[in-house]
Amino acid sequence: MLVPFIMASPNTGILSPAALKAGKIDPVGTCTGPFIITEVDGQQRLKLKRNDAYWGGKAKLAEAEVRFLPDANVRATQVRSGESHIGRTVPASALAQLKRGPGTSVVSIDTPRTTQMLINTKKAPLDNVKVRQALQAALDLKGIASSLYEGSVEPAIGPFAQHEPWAPKGVQPAKLDVARAKALLAEAGVKPGSLTLELFAYSEKIELKDLAAIIQEQLKAIGVTVKIRVAAYNALEPDMIAGKYDIALLSRSHLTDVADPLAFLTSDYTCKGGYNLSHYCNASFDESLTKAASEADPAKRHEVYAKAAKLLQEQAVNVFIIHERGNDAISSKVKGYALHPLYHYTLTTALSVE
């Protein structure tokens, strides 16, 4: 059922035999989309020219250059300075200035992506649901959304946002309740000041360092000490996969190629899931997803996903913090730009620059 969607995804790239040279991949001059790659400079930049033979119509742009800039603030700055026409995924802290201009604006869209605090559910005392619920109740999600993200996002109600068809109905973000959090820790046998956790935050996502500091301060209010480790994601992931961590911040998309979150729920939350960083295992949860995989009726599958999301929220398997929005900065000279919700396409045939 899902194979046609996967095959239609740009992530399922089919290389021309001409792109395979001496055992290496070299796509220069071999692409069949609206643009042809003319030059690749390592991880610095990519140059393209219009493909006049493109089956989908001639692109308005004659050529383009893509620069790979890992720092989101730099991407925003380059649009403001005129060095770039488009800056993808700019930080929330830059939005107000970009919207005021002059000569710049912001294109925004809801995305299937949530920032969450992963919890290693196999590591004591985090294997106790009351301890996890205490961490959840100690965080001021609304305050985080309005301050750190300057009101550009909504506090999370779980892995899925309210507008999505598979989100549970009537669910609200976890409420800040310090008294309840302290009581839950006491019920779990955790004495005040006895719990110290290490929090991972990866440097590629610029907001996470500040978010980690906020979480550190808010958990201090319930007697939990947090030590922060900031590093590149590839330096943190091995420990997360191996279960050698306490809590970690992660920006996670639940849709990739198909408008159905089954693959996400399976990989992230089933006992044998390939990306189950929470190390969560619940046989009945797995069984419900197995049945959903063979269900042809989308509405019935969505019911299963909603129940799964509600369970993850209620058991505080992770603390879901905010539902992200895609924010791209563009120059006023850019016309015909549309932000793809899965970030599949940026350079389209309709895009032009005055």
Are 7 and 75 within one domain?
A: yes
Local confidence band at 92 (pLDDT 50, 70, 90 cut-offs): very high
Q: Is the pLDDT of residue 211 over 90?
A: yes
User: Is 161 found in the same domain as 196?
Assistant: yes
Whether the per-residue pLDDT at 1 is higher than 60: the answer is no
Beta partners for residue 229, in sequence order: 200
pLDDT score of 209: 96
Is the domain of 319 the same as that of 330? Answer: no
Cβ burial, residue 116 (10 Å; 0-12/13-18/19+): buried
* 92 and 128 belong to one structural domain: no
CATH number at residue 18: 3.40.190.10
Pick from 3-17, 212-226, 231-245, 313-327: least confident: 3-17
Judged by DSSP in three states, 121 sits in coil
Co-location of 149 and 66 in the same domain: no
Residue 99: pLDDT band with limits 50, 70, 90: very high
Report helix angle 129-138 to 207-220, nearest 10: 110
* CA atoms in the 13 A half-sphere facing the CB of 83: 10
Does 116 lie in the same domain as 99?
no
Q: Given a cut of 80, is residue 9 above it in pLDDT?
A: no
For residue 14, the model assigns a pLDDT of 80
Is the pLDDT higher at 301 or at 23?
Answer: 301
Report whether pLDDT(205) > 60: yes
Same domain, 175 and 127: yes
278: left (phi over 0), alpha (psi -120 to 50) or beta: alpha
Give yes or no: residues 35 and 23 share one domain. Answer: yes
Write out pLDDT tens, residues 233-290: 999 999 999 999 999 999 999 997 788 999 999 999 999 999 999 999 999 999 999 9
**Which residues have a Cβ under 8 Å from the Cβ of 95 and sit 6 or more positions away?**
106, 150, 152, 327
* pLDDT interval class at 130 (50, 70, 90): very high
Domain limits for position 118:
111-324
Average pLDDT value for residue range 315-337: 96
Q: Could you tell me if 254 and 131 lie in one domain? A: yes
Residue that wins the pLDDT comparison between 4 and 228: 228
Specify whether the CB–CB gap between 224 and 197 falls below 8 A. yes
Tens-digit pLDDT profile for residues 40-73? 998 899 999 999 999 999 999 999 999 999 999 9
Q: Half-sphere exposure of residue 194, counting CA atoms within 13 Å on the CB side?
A: 11
Arithmetic mean of pLDDT over the chain: 94
Residue by residue, DSSP assigns 255-297 as -SSSS-THHHHHHHHSTT-TT-TT----HHHHHHHHHHHT---
In the block, which residue shows the tokens 């985090």? Answer: 126
Domain count, the chain: 2
| Apex 262 CA angle, 33 and 321, nearest 5 | 95
Is the confidence at residue 326, as pLDDT, over 60? yes
Cα-atom radius of gyration of the chain, to the nearest Å? Answer: 22
**Joined tokens for residue 345:** 């396409």
Give CA angle at 274 (254, 250), nearest 5°.
45
CATH number at residue 240: 3.10.105.10
pLDDT over threshold 90, residue 78: yes
The position carrying tokens 């996470």 is 208
The band of 150, judged by pLDDT with boundaries at 50, 70 and 90, is very high
Q: In the predicted model, is pLDDT for residue 11 greater than 80? A: no
